[in-house]
């Protein structure tokens, strides 16, 4: 057997070993396929062609190549449109579009009329709201009233802490559109990914800080 196939095979084995050092599964598969390809000449140019080895290594390449394509497709940014794009751009920009799309689909658009009470102080809250349009009145424990509008969360403090409502919230405008998530459904989804859950809590915390800033001014 010529020396070149042997040298390529040793290089291929080394590359396949190096592939195991990658934490990213996509790069692990890409480098692994590259290493396997370099091993092929050794089986082809040997005194007796190693059909069994060629067959199993071919299967290895095919399976990994399919998975590489799937991973690339899954990692492509999802193009958002309309209200979903606006919400992601203004509020959820720290979350990938594909992940946000899943969060968005857990919610429902709800239309409310004037004076509808969404949240009552000191009572449990089962939903997280995001105001899309319209004005909402928030009455605090000391009877201080504040008006909030689009791109503002309602019930976010209770979602984070699990405590009862710290204010009473009712619709102030003639009509208002809100995005509504069920607490348990959303929490179950976030619990699958600790990093995502932390990012979501940071988004809600930023909203709370912004509200406090507005109240202070």
118 and 141 in a single domain? The answer is yes
- Per-residue pLDDT of 100-117, as tens digits, reads 999 999 999 999 999 999
Q: Is the pLDDT of residue 91 over 80?
A: yes
171 and 212 in a single domain? The answer is yes
What distance in Å separates the CA atoms of residue 94 and residue 81, rounded to the nearest whole number?
17
- Per-residue pLDDT of 155-182, as tens digits, reads 999 999 999 998 999 999 999 999 999 9
Q: State the pLDDT confidence band at 86, using cuts at 50, 70 and 90.
A: very high
Q: Dihedral through CA 138, CA 140, CA 143, CA 148, nearest 10?
A: -20
What distance in Å separates the CA atoms of residue 205 and residue 131, rounded to the nearest whole number?
16
CATH number for position 210: 2.60.120.10
What distance in Å separates the CA atoms of residue 154 and residue 167, rounded to the nearest whole number?
10
Q: What is the pTM of this model?
A: 0.72
Q: Which domain holds residue 212?
A: 82-216
Number of domains the chain is built from: 2
117 and 161 in a single domain? The answer is yes
- Per-residue pLDDT of 12-68, as tens digits, reads 999 999 999 999 999 999 999 999 999 988 888 877 787 888 899 999 999 999 999
86 and 71 in a single domain? The answer is no
Residue 69 CB contacts under 8 Å (≥ 6 apart), including other chains = none
Contact 164, 102 (CB under 8 A): no
* Number of residues that this document lists for the chain: 217
156 and 89 in a single domain? The answer is yes
């Amino acid at each position: 057997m010529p020396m070149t196939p042997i040298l390529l095979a040793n290089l291929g084995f080394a590359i396949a070993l190096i592939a195991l050092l990658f934490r990213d599964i996509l790069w692990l598969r890409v480098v692994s396929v590259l290493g396997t390809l370099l091993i092929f000449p050794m089986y082809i140019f040997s005194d007796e062609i190693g059909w069994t080895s060629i067959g199993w290594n071919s299967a290895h390449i095919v399976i990994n190549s399919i998975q590489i394509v799937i991973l690339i497709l899954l990692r492509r940014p999802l193009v958002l449109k309309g209200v979903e794009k606006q919400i992601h751009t203004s509020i959820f920009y720290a979350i990938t579009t594909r992940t946000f799309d899943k969060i968005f689909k857990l919610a429902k658009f709800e239309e409310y009329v004037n004076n509808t009470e969404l949240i009552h102080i000191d009572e449990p809250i089962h939903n997280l709201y995001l105001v899309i349009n319209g004005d909402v009145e928030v009455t605090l424990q000391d009877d201080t009233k504040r008006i909030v509008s689009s791109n503002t969360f309602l019930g976010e403090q209770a979602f984070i802490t699990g405590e009862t409502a710290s204010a009473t919230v009712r619709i102030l405008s003639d009509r208002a559109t809100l995005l509504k998530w069920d607490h348990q459904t959303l929490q179950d989804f976030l619990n699958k990914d600790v990093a995502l859950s932390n990012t979501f809590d940071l988004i809600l915390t930023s909203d709370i800080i912004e509200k406090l800033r507005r109240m202070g001014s």
